[in-house]
Amino acid sequence: MKKSTIIAVILGLACAMGASVGSAHNTNIKAYWAASGMFGPFNIRGLIPALPEDRARDITIPVPMWIIDHPKGIVVFDTGNNVALNTGGCAAHWGEGSCAFLKPSQKRSDVIDMQLKKLGYSVNDVVAVVTSHSHLDHIGNIEMFPNALHIVQKNELYQAWWPEPFQRASGAHIMADYDNARDFNYLTLDGDFDIFGDGSIVVLNAPGHTLGNQSLKLKFRNGDTFIIAQDALWMRENLEGYPAGLNFSVKTYFESAQRLKSMADLEGGTLFFGHDEQQWKEKGNRWYK
């Protein structure tokens, strides 16, 4: 190929990529960022031990959940902390260690069923529940959705039922959150998945934090792109190269983080962290269309 031809091809590709940036999308979705209460305050280095000591500070972080309204039904991304924290007390469900460390402040009105009600929906309107991973603050209330399709990475189910000793010892897996959900309708994945086939809600395989961790990409009608990392990136500090303290694989974690960040950059989109204090203050508890 001649040099001029190569340049023309590269320019053509660049234009084609440019045309897709911010371009409009046919499906009209809207998304609400909710929290199943907060965790904290605690020292950030309790979550990110690699962070230098001079950056130590107390943080209070959201327990993130997303409610997405698609013309074909409601999709929920993560179901927060189990409602048992409100009905039976934290220690009885999680054990005293996790309650003392995480300091959950969930009110009954923060729980996913009440969050849906607040927005004018019911749990029966939810057609699909996407669970990012099987830790206690993300899978907590899947049993509230026996009629929905549950979308998870296949190997995350193995992670949930047989966590590595260090993950198990951390108290992050509560079997009672999902032991009655075994016979639900699961769509098990080994990779990405476009939920309604229209590009508006796409599951992204983002392993590392856990074996089968997954994130979500939203494409709005006005062309906005959201990359919702959940625990693929807890907070901004993880993007700076300081890994979360509870990872299945640090190497895979950073590969996923880089992929999500690049995707957001290339599409001119917004990257949402799972547990970032500042971003929640700026962007939480509201609708996006």
Nearest residue (CB) to Zn ion, 29 versus 111:
111
Nearest residue (CB) to Zn ion, 69 versus 231:
231
Q: Where are the alpha helices (DSSP H) in 124-213?
A: 154-161, 165-169
Binding site for Zn ion (CB under 5 A): 137, 231
- The backbone torsions φ and ψ at residue 193, rounded to the nearest 5 degrees and listed phi first, read -155, 125
Give me the least distance between CB of 229 and Zn ion, in Å please.
11
- The backbone torsions φ and ψ at residue 32, rounded to the nearest 5 degrees and listed phi first, read -115, 130
Give the span between the Cα atoms of 255 and 270, in whole angstroms.
19
Residues near 218 by Cβ (< 8 Å), separated by ≥ 6? 29, 31, 68, 200, 201, 202, 225, 226, 228
DSSP 148: S
Give me the least distance between CB of 146 and Zn ion, in Å please.
24
Give me the least distance between CB of 275 and Zn ion, in Å please.
6
Give me the least distance between CB of 41 and Zn ion, in Å please.
16
Give me the least distance between CB of 132 and Zn ion, in Å please.
8
Side-chain half-sphere CA neighbours of 126 within 13 A: 29
Cβ atoms of residues 196 and 127 within 8 Å = no
DSSP 282: H
Give me the least distance between CB of 81 and Zn ion, in Å please.
10
Question: Closest Cα to residue 73, out of 132, 129, 2?
Answer: 129
Give me the least distance between CB of 277 and Zn ion, in Å please.
13
Q: In what order do the strands lie in the sheet with 286-288?
A: 185-189, 149-153, 126-130, 73-77, 58-70, 30-43, 286-288
Compute how many other C-beta atoms are within 10 angstroms of the C-beta atom of residue 258: 11
Nearest residue (CB) to Zn ion, 68 versus 244:
244
Nearest residue (CB) to Zn ion, 29 versus 47:
47
What's the gap between Cα 272 and its chain centre? Answer: 9
Greatest extent of the chain over all pairs of C-alpha atoms, in Å? 73
Give me the least distance between CB of 76 and Zn ion, in Å please.
15
Nearest residue (CB) to Zn ion, 29 versus 61:
61
Nearest residue (CB) to Zn ion, 113 versus 137:
137
